[in-house]
Amino acid sequence: MVGIDAKNKHILDRKYICPIFTLILRDPVQLSKCGHRQCQSCFEAQHEITIKCQQCQSETSRTEILLDRGFQNDMKLIHIDCSFCEWTETS
């Protein structure tokens, strides 16, 4: 499942936006070579041995991609307004 579309994504820090589909990160993974993130589903859709970062073009081996639970916990603190319904996520 790709990232989350939100009415207020344009006001969020870009670090919360997946560079692949420009949606809010869902299950973020971190590329260990550069530290940038993308959605886990975006990572899994890439079948290459090395993953090229969409932001800086550095390459990271698939074995060096990390599920970023700490960043995911930080994301629970941001306010998200769903684009498709009245659901709102706040802490």
Can you give the pLDDT at residue 64?
A: 96
Q: Which residues contact 5 (CB under 8 A, 6 or more apart)?
A: 23, 24, 82, 83, 84
* Residue 41 CB partners (closer than 8 Å, separation 6+): 1, 2, 26, 27
Total-model pTM: 0.81
pLDDT for position 2: 81
The CA distance from 34 to 25, in Å, is: 17
Task: Check pLDDT > 90 for residue 80.
Answer: no
Specify the CATH number for 9-89; select among 3.40.50.1000, 3.30.40.10, 3.40.190.10, 2.30.180.10. 3.30.40.10
Please compute the mean of the pLDDT values over residues 27-51 and round it to a whole number: 95
Taking 60 as the threshold, does the pLDDT of residue 91 lie above it? no
